[in-house]
Chains A and B, each alone.
Chain A
């Protein structure tokens, strides 16, 4: 192994999106010597792409809103698989976290009274999302970035950490490489916070950027941490479908929040045919009521266009399979006929720009063509709800990489608030741990072995193109572990993943170590394939349909499965799966949720066209 650059910190935060930045700000404020390490330039993490808003029951638009209603919406949206304590903390603390951003300079859109304006989103009973047009993520990441810079927190940009180091049971640091120079770098750390996001790049059609390769999930399981709910993947209902260059690119739920509606190719507002029993009491069943709800929430129920994302994505999938989709395999999203052009341009400027520039579509005059796109993973690293501690001492996780908060399906807007609430808590707990824990010992043999592994692709003289392997992985997950799943297809996926793993071991890397994306991808493939396997194995175990996991062979939602998490851990180099009971909701919170449980059959779609109204 070549020489390695060494650093020593109390707390190392891996990832500089919303969760990582918020964690680092907190750890630093509590006196811990803190580093932020991120794969991209500062300010480019995936949070920057978030569009619609931050869910927080501020009550600025609807005074009836409060944390209890937000808690209820989150739990029901998650099909009651959520960790109740996380959902409670999130609903209670989100307003303070949003107001804190304002103290740091963020400028949200305003109500007429000068307070933070809130917008409607799927699954939220009241207009609840603090936002800045449709570029809320940019405002959030820049505010956090500027705050971190002003506090002079050390940032290691374009630096990929690839393995966690361990000292017995506990975490002791991490090793990786500088993307620019290709040189190895290691951190000794008393505590590590993982804030690395998800694994969307394992799918073909995704709203995620290249960074989403499952690094944190892979590193955590390698270090001995538990994963839960890995089968719970979110397909956002509205991604762009045409032209091919932009397939998967996100179209904010804010389009529907601001009045847009879904239509099939005959112009029918088909969502009225897909209202599940669990949401029937809260959902309008006529177009008249649905349209009136935007203005008057007291006397009308919510439009089915704004059912939780899993429901809408499945409905779109069914419409397309039934032959009622558009030319390019999507459905229509129409705001042009429903809102004035000026309103659309003001509320949705980046959607207007994105369609105009990339698809030659003027959304103030034409319908958008949209379809589901892999957007988020609800599953991830199991954490303690109050401290975000993983099952490995000294290791914390916050944001998309952690699991529990969103259960089987995440509501739109609950991600940005999740990053802030649990980022802060993780930073606080990691700083506290670093104060009571002694300095960790670096296991030089482990460090050397990891270092050699990182350099190995240059020496092996492989014969496989890493880009081709990645592309086949994306096809495999898209076709076999997509929105609708079946036992035989999942088993086939496992066979293919094994083959891809063998090929990835022979990835060919050429050129120097300086900024070499082929090498970076060759190293990322292990994480992508490993995490894909965890998703697929979990999906095989859960024999029911719930939230982001739909089984064609088990289309019913099963009350018994509603009490269990699928847990994955690595023992002796192999994934071991188990089911474990989820924490019981205490009585006083259970009363907020209602007595009913998610039931019924998920729309899995049919390949033979059916008459409208049949399903």
Chain B
């Protein structure tokens, strides 16, 4: 068996550097196998998150040669022999140690999303939904919360200051899933604009490109949400209807200016 060499970022919040490691290669090996072998043989305290090792849980996100990827789904044979391979933690979130980052941003944002609120059941006590009406939402439900879309999103990747007022592609997918759920009745459109910062997104589609579940984040979630926000806020008929239904317009802060890409 030949050896593989990789450079793994080792360090913590105070700083760190890439360290070279060489381990034996196996057929079919993925990057996460290499990291595990390094732990077992060279660096027992090398910090890494993982769970399913099958692309289903979204734990082992990292940047491999600078590209946001799941370590468990990145085969070593994707790299030409002799290529310098680096493995580093995702950049958008603060480093805890080595490949592990503090992703609590995402769990805090999740708490701010108004939950699912279903309409009443059919008269016979059943719920009926048709497959073609839920296909789109099921696409959004494929999200494994790997947060690679969050990592690659330039609104927060290079601008910590935007994190307060921007929830990121993962939560636009979540919001879209709720908004397009055939049974849901909750109101979120004002919040999507005012609190989750949808206007920051200038649809560069970086999130869509890195999604390991192939969710069409920009086309199927973000753009339709933008359209809903526009028709709710800038369509005079919708505005008048809302006034007639007695719903007060909440204060909506001005649209934040997107940072330059």
Contacts and interface: CB of A to CB of B under 8 A. Distances in A.
Interface string A91-114: 000000001001111010110011
Main secondary structure of the interface of B (DSSP, over half): loop
Interface in B18-50: 26-30, 33, 39-41, 44-50
B54 A354 contact: yes
A350 B72 CA distance: 14
Contacts of B258: none
B67 interface: no
A517 B48 contact: yes
A517 B40 CA distance: 10
Contact of B28 (A243, A512, A515, A517): A243
B12 interface: yes
Given A42-B107, A511-B44, A107 B137 contact: yes
Contacts of A350: 55-56
B206 to A, nearest CB: 21
A105 B181 contact: yes
Interface string A46-69: 101100000000000000000000
A447 to B, nearest CB: 26
Given A135-B142, A468-B40, A150 B28 contact: no
A132 B97 CA distance: 36
B134 interface: yes
Interface string B130-169: 1100100110011111000000000000000000000000
Contacts of B224: none
Given A110-B129, A139-B141, A353 B55 contact: yes
A44 B40 contact: no
A193 B260 CA distance: 50
A329 to B, nearest CB: 14
A244 B26 contact: yes
A110 B131 contact: yes
User: Max chain B CB contacts within 10 Å: which of A132, A138, A521?
Assistant: A138
B97 A514 contact: yes
A518 interface: yes
A107 B56 contact: no
Given A48-B57, A107-B141, A515 B96 contact: yes
Contacts of A468: 40
Interface residues of B, number: 58
A557 to B, nearest CB: 35
A475 B121 CA distance: 53
Given A105-B116, A110-B129, A517-B39, A40 B45 contact: no
Nearest to B44: A518
Interface string B104-127: 000100110001101000000011
B85 to A, nearest CB: 16
B115 A150 contact: yes
Contacts of A509: 44-45
Contacts of A103: 118
B145 to A, nearest CB: 6
A386 to B, nearest CB: 26
B188 interface: no
Contacts of A142: 141, 143, 145
A387 interface: no
Contact of A110 (B12, B44, B107, B134): B134
B111 A107 contact: no
Contact of A519 (B33, B41, B45, B184): B45
B194 interface: no
A358 B56 contact: no
B112 to A, nearest CB: 10
User: Max chain A CB contacts within 10 Å: which of B39, B52, B53, B100?
Assistant: B52
Closest 3 CB pairs of A and B: A243-B28, A511-B45, A518-B44
8 contacts: A46-B51, A48-B52, A113-B128, A114-B130, A149-B107, A245-B27, A465-B44, A516-B45
Interface of B: 12, 26-30, 33, 39-41, 44-59, 73, 75, 96-98, 100, 102-103, 107, 110-111, 115-116, 118, 126-131, 134, 137-138, 141-145, 178, 181, 183-184
